[in-house]
C-alpha cells in the first residue's frame, strides 16, 4: 500500500507499468529511511531505485557518480521526464554553477548529481550540509573497494558521508561485486546496518560467445573483428581493445570498409572524447572501438553487440563490459576473442603494477577465473552467475556452449607428455620448439635434446593439436609463459596441480577438434570454424522480420526522433528508446490515450511529443 505513490510515479513519470525485480523492495526501504546496498546487473534499472524516493521524500536527492558523461546523460534524461535535476561538475562555468546552487538552495531540485572529487571539497560539503537531503545515492560503489576490479582512491572519501549527513538514508549501487567486494563496500562506506539486496545476474537477452584466437598475432584478431562487424552492419556496438594503438588501428580499418567506427581512449583530449562519444550516441549503427576508458555510465540502450578483441581483466569486468549491450532488453551479443598469450600478458601486467602483493594475488586469481570461464565447456551465463554467488543456475540456452555443446576430448595423457617435455627442457624453449621436440621434428636437433626421453613422444598428434593442448595448459595455469623479452619460453606452473595430472587424479579435457589430433593433416593449417555464424545472424534478423508497414512506421518515427534530438542537442534515446518506437510502430496508436499506454511513454513525454508521434504514425506530415 505504502508503495502506491511510488508505483504511480513510475507510471506517470517513466511510463513503466510496474517495478521489476528488486526495485520495489529497494524503493520501499529508501522510503522508510533505511540504508541500502543494491547489487543489480547493468540494465537492471538501478536509477529509479533512488530517483523515485528522491522525488517522493522531502528534500533533494544527492547522487555521487564517477563520470561527467554519465551525469550529464542522466540529468538530460531526467529533464526530459519533467524531473527537476541538475549536476555540479567541473565542466560548468561559474554562472551555471551559481544557478545550480540557487535552485538547490531554493529547494527546487529533486536530484543533484555530483562527482566524488566535487564532494571531497570542504566548501561544497559544507554548503550541502545546510540543505535538506532526501537521500544520498552512491553509484558505481564497487569503485570504493580494492577487492573490486576498478578501485578509485577518490571513492575512499565517501566513507565520511554518513557522519557528514546524519539521518540521511544512503544507498550504494553497483552492477558487479562479488561477496568480498560487497563486504568491503559496506565497511568502507559505513553502511553497517544497510539491507543488502543482490539481484540475479541473469541477462537473458544477451547471447554470449567466446572464441579462441586462431593465432597470437594482432592481424588475425583484427581480421576476425572485421568479419564479425561486417555481419552486423547497421547495428551499434562496442569493440574493446587492450591498447590505445589497437583502438586507433582497428577503428581506421573499420572506417575504411564504410563502418562508422570511432576510436576512444584516455590518450585523446577531453574535447575529442566528448565529440566522439556524442557521435556514438547520436549516429545510427555507430561502432566505438575503445579501451576500458570507455563505458562506465555510457547509457546507450541500443548497443547490439560488445566484442572483446582482447579479453577483459576479470569476470566482473567482463560482465560489466558485455552488460553495456542490450540495456533496452532487446537481444544483444557479447563476443570475446581470447588466447593463451593474452593470459600471459594479463599476468605480466598485474605483476608490474604498483600494488601490495595481496591485491596482486586477488587480481591474478580473478584473471585465472576469467580464462577458465572463457575456455571452459559449461554454459557461460551460468559460470558467470555462479561466480557472483548465485546457486542452482540453469543453463541459459543461448550461449555458444548451450547452442552447440562442445565435444570434449580427454587429453590427460597428452598433457602429461607436454608437461614432462617442458620439465626436461627446463624452460629453455618456446611453444613452437616444444612442439617440434614432442613431434621429434627439431631441425638440426642437438644430441643432448635428442637424447631426452620426451623427444618425439608426441608423434601421434598433429602440431596444432599440440598447440591446443599447450594453450589449454597455459590457461589452466599448469604451464606459464615466461615473457623473456618478447621471446616467450614455456615453464611449469602450479606444482601441486601438475602432480595431480601426472597421477591421473586431475583429468584434462579440451574441446574436441576432430582433425586436430590426426598427425596426417598438414601442420599450421588454420583451424576452420564450424557453425555459429548462421544462427547468430538469424537471431539478429528478428527486426527485419517485422511486417513492412511496421518497419516503415518505425523508420518514420526514427527520422522524427533524429530531427528532434539534433534540435535539442541530446542523444536520440533520451527522447524515446528504440524499443518504445518499435512498440509504437507495432501498436499503431490512434489517440493520445492509446499512446500513453505504451511502455516508455510517461506523462511529460506524452504532453510534449504525443501529437508529433501520432502524426508520424499516421504519416500525415
Ligand atoms: P542500470 O543503471 O541498472 O544499468 P538503468 O537504471 O539505466 O539501469 O535502467 C535500464 C533501463 O531499464 C532503462 O532504459 C530504464 O528506463 C529501464 N527500466 C528501469 N526500470 C524499469 C521498469 N520497472 N520497467 C521497465 N523498464 C524499466
Ligand atoms: Zn548457456
Q: Is 80 or 178 the better-scoring residue by pLDDT?
A: 80
Residue 167 is predicted with a pLDDT of 94
Pocket of ligand 1 contains residue 115 by CB under 6 Å: no
Residue 621 is predicted with a pLDDT of 55
Number of the ligand closest to the Cα of 386: 2
> pLDDT by residue (tens digit) across 148-171?
667 777 888 899 999 999 999 999
In this structure, what CATH number is given to the domain that contains residue 211? 3.40.50.300
Pocket of ligand 1 contains residue 300 by CB under 6 Å: no
Query: How far does the centroid of ligand 1 lie from the alpha carbon of residue 44, in Å?
Result: 6
Task: Spell out where 375-443 has E strands.
Answer: 408-410
CA distance 513 to 363: 32
> Residue 544 pLDDT > 90, yes or no?
no
Taking CA atoms, 233 is separated from 207, 221, 336, 398, 541, in Å, by 18, 19, 18, 22, 11
As given in the structure block, the three cell numbers for residue 89 are 561538475
Domain boundary at 178, 198, 218, which?
198
Residue 297 banded pLDDT, cuts 50, 70, 90: low
Contacts of 580 (CB under 8 A, 6+ apart): 598, 599, 600, 601
- Other Cβ atoms less than 10 A from the Cβ of 453: the count is 9
Residue 538 is predicted with a pLDDT of 36
Number of the ligand closest to the Cα of 396: 2
**Residue 527 located in a structural domain:** no
| Shortest-distance atom of ligand 1 to CA 328 | 14
Give yes or no: residues 82 and 190 share one domain.
Answer: yes
> Residue 485 pLDDT > 80, yes or no?
no
Q: Which helix (H) or strand (E) holds 282?
A: helix 270-282
Q: What's the domain count of the chain? A: 4
Query: How far does the centroid of ligand 1 lie from the alpha carbon of residue 62, in Å?
Result: 19
Bridge partners of 416, per DSSP, are none
| pLDDT over 70 percentage in the chain | 92
Lowest-confidence segment of 196-205, 230-239, 330-339 by average pLDDT:
196-205
Cβ-contact 517, 453 below 8 angstroms: no
By CB atoms closer than 10 A (0-12, 13-18, 19+), residue 213 is buried
CA distance 479 to 344: 10
As given in the structure block, the three cell numbers for residue 23 are 526495485
> Residue 147 pLDDT > 60, yes or no?
yes
Give yes or no: residues 317 and 216 share one domain.
Answer: yes
Give yes or no: residues 585 and 458 share one domain.
Answer: no
Task: Spell out where 119-158 has E strands.
Answer: 133-138
Task: Kindly report the protein residue whose alpha carbon is nearest to atom 20 of ligand 1.
Answer: 45
**Residue 549 located in a structural domain:** yes
Q: Is 332 or 586 the better-scoring residue by pLDDT?
A: 332
Average pLDDT (86-101) is: 92
pTM of the full predicted structure? 0.70
**Residue 308 located in a structural domain:** yes
What is the domain extent for residue 576?
Answer: 538-618
Give yes or no: residues 431 and 383 share one domain.
Answer: no
CA distance 461 to 203: 40
Give yes or no: residues 480 and 465 share one domain.
Answer: yes
Give yes or no: residues 452 and 468 share one domain.
Answer: yes
Residue 135 is predicted with a pLDDT of 98
- DSSP label at 478? S
Task: Kindly report the protein residue whose alpha carbon is nearest to atom 15 of ligand 1.
Answer: 45
In this structure, what CATH number is given to the domain that contains residue 581? 1.10.150.80
> pLDDT by residue (tens digit) across 106-132?
999 999 999 998 898 899 999 999 999
Pocket of ligand 1 contains residue 203 by CB under 6 Å: no
> Residue 519 pLDDT > 70, yes or no?
no
- DSSP label at 166? T
Give yes or no: residues 47 and 114 share one domain.
Answer: yes
| Shortest-distance atom of ligand 1 to CA 577 | 14
CA distance 169 to 29: 9
> Residue 437 pLDDT > 70, yes or no?
yes
Pocket of ligand 1 contains residue 73 by CB under 6 Å: no
Sign for the pseudo-dihedral over CA of 504, 509, 510, 512 = positive
**Residue 531 located in a structural domain:** no
Give yes or no: residues 369 and 318 share one domain.
Answer: yes
Residue 532 is predicted with a pLDDT of 40
> pLDDT by residue (tens digit) across 495-507?
999 999 999 999 9
Pocket of ligand 1 contains residue 40 by CB under 6 Å: yes
Mean pLDDT of the chain: 87
Task: Kindly report the protein residue whose alpha carbon is nearest to atom 26 of ligand 1.
Answer: 16
> Residue 518 pLDDT > 60, yes or no?
no
In this structure, what CATH number is given to the domain that contains residue 504? 1.10.10.10
Residue 237 is predicted with a pLDDT of 97
| pLDDT over 90 percentage in the chain | 55
CA distance 81 to 103: 18
| Shortest-distance atom of ligand 1 to CA 49 | 6
Domain boundary at 170, 198, 226, which?
198
Give yes or no: residues 396 and 308 share one domain.
Answer: yes
Give yes or no: residues 162 and 267 share one domain.
Answer: no
DSSP 159-198: GGHHHHSTT--EEEEES---HHHHHHHHHHTT-TT-EEEE
**Spatial CA neighbour of 155 closest among 90, 64, 42:** 64
| Shortest-distance atom of ligand 1 to CA 175 | 3
Q: Is 588 or 515 the better-scoring residue by pLDDT?
A: 588
**Spatial CA neighbour of 61 closest among 104, 121, 18, 9:** 104
Give yes or no: residues 229 and 109 share one domain.
Answer: no
Give yes or no: residues 459 and 368 share one domain.
Answer: no
**Residue 496 located in a structural domain:** yes
Residue 5 banded pLDDT, cuts 50, 70, 90: very high
Average pLDDT (465-478) is: 86
Bridge partners of 135, per DSSP, are 61
CA distance 223 to 221: 5
Pocket of ligand 1 contains residue 61 by CB under 6 Å: no
Choosing from 16, 45, 203 the residue with most ligand 1 atoms within 8 A of its CB, the one to mutate for a pocket test is 45
Query: How far does the centroid of ligand 1 lie from the alpha carbon of residue 176, in Å?
Result: 16
Residue 557 is predicted with a pLDDT of 93
Q: Which helix (H) or strand (E) holds 289?
A: strand 287-290
> Residue 196 pLDDT > 60, yes or no?
yes
Cβ-contact 55, 110 below 8 angstroms: yes
Amino acid at each position: 500500500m505504502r508503495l502506491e505513490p511510488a508505483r504511480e510515479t513510475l507510471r506517470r513519470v517513466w511510463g513503466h507499468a510496474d517495478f521489476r525485480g528488486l526495485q520495489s523492495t529497494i524503493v520501499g526501504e529508501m522510503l522508510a529511511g533505511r540504508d541500502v546496498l543494491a547489487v543489480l546487473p547493468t540494465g537492471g534499472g538501478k536509477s529509479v531505485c533512488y530517483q523515485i524516493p528522491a522525488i517522493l521524500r522531502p528534500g533533494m536527492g544527492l547522487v555521487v557518480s564517477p563520470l561527467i558523461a554519465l551525469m550529464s546523460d542522466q540529468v538530460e534524461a531526467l529533464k526530459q521526464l519533467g524531473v527537476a535535476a541538475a549536476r555540479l561538475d567541473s565542466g560548468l562555468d561559474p554562472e551555471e554553477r551559481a544557478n545550480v546552487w540557487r535552485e538547490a538552495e531554493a529547494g527546487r531540485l529533486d536530484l543533484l548529481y555530483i562527482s566524488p572529487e566535487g564532494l571531497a571539497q570542504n566548501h561544497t560539503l559544507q554548503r550541502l550540509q545546510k540543505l535538506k537531503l532526501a537521500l544520498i545515492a552512491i553509484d558505481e560503489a564497487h569503485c570504493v573497494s580494492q577487492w573490486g576490479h576498478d578501485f578509485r582512491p577518490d571513492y575512499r572519501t565517501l566513507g565520511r558521508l554518513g557522519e557528514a549527513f546524519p539521518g540521511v538514508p544512503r544507498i550504494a549501487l553497483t552492477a558487479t561485486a562479488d561477496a568480498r567486494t560487497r563486504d568491503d563496500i559496506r565497511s568502507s562506506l559505513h553502511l553497517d546496518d544497510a539491507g543488502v539486496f543482490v539481484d540475479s545476474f541473469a541477462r537473458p537477452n544477451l547471447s554470449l560467445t567466446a572464441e579462441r584466437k586462431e593465432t597470437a598475432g594482432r592481424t588475425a584478431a583484427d581480421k576476425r573483428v572485421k568479419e564479425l562487424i561486417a555481419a552486423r552492419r547497421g547495428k551499434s556496438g562496442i569493440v574493446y581493445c587492450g591498447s590505445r594503438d589497437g583502438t586507433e588501428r582497428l577503428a581506421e580499418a573499420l572506417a575504411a570498409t564504410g563502418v562508422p567506427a570511432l576510436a576512444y581512449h584516455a590518450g585523446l583530449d577531453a574535447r575529442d572524447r566528448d565529440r566522439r562519444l556524442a557521435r556514438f550516441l547520436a549516429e545510427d549503427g555507430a561502432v566505438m572501438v575503445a579501451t576500458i576508458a570507455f563505458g562506465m555510465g555510457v547509457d546507450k540502450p541500443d548497443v547490439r553487440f560488445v566484442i572483446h578483441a582482447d579479453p577483459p581483466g576479470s569476470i566482473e569486468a567482463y560482465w560489466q563490459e558485455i552488460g553495456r549491450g542490450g540495456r533496452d532488453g532487446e537481444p544483444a551479443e557479447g563476443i570475446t576473442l581470447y588466447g593463451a598469450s593474452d593470459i600471459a600478458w594479463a599476468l605480466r601486467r598485474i605483476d608490474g603494477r604498483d600494488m601490495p602483493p595481496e591485491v596482486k594475488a586477488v587480481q591474478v586469481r580473478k584473471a585465472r577465473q576469467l580464462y577458465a570461464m572463457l575456455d571452459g565447456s559449461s554454459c557461460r551465463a551460468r559460470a558467470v552467475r555462479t561466480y557472483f554467488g548465485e546457486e542452482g543456475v540453469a543453463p541459459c540456452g543461448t550461449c555458444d556452449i548451450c547452442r552447440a555443446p562442445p565435444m570434449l576430448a580427454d587429453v590427460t595423457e597428452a598433457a602429461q607428455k607436454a608437461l614432462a617435455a617442458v620439465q626436461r627442457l627446463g624452460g629453455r624453449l618456446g611453444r613452437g620448439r616444444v612442439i617440434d621436440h614432442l613431434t621429434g621434428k627439431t631441425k638440426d636437433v642437438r644430441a643432448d635434446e635428442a637424447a631426452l626421453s620426451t623427444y618425439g613422444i608426441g608423434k601421434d598428434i598433429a602440431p596444432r593439436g599440440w598447440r591446443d593442448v599447450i594453450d589449454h595448459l597455459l590457461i589452466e595455469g599448469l604451464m606459464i609463459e615466461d615473457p623473456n623479452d618478447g621471446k616467450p619460453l614455456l615453464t611449469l606452473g602450479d606444482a601441486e596441480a601438475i602432480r595431480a595430472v601426472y597421477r591421473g587424479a586431475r583429468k584434462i579435457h579440451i574441446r574436441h577438434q576432430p582433425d586436430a589430433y590426426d598427425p596426417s593433416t598438414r601442420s599450421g593449417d588454420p583451424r576452420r570454424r564450424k557453425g555459429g555464424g548462421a544462427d547468430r545472424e538469424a537471431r539478429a534478423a528478428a527486426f527485419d522480420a517485422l511486417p513492412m508497414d511496421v518497419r516503415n512506421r518505425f523508420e518514420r518515427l526514427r527520422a522524427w526522433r533524429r530531427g528532434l534530438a539534433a534540435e535539442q542537442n541530446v542523444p536520440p534515446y533520451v527522447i524515446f528508446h528504440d524499443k518504445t518506437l518499435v512498440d509504437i510502430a507495432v501498436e499503431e496508436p490512434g489517440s493520445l490515450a492509446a499512446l500513453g499506454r505504451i511502455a516508455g511513454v510517461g506523462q511529460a513525454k506524452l504532453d510534449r511529443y504525443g501529437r508529433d508521434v501520432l502524426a508520424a504514425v499516421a504519416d500525415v506530415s
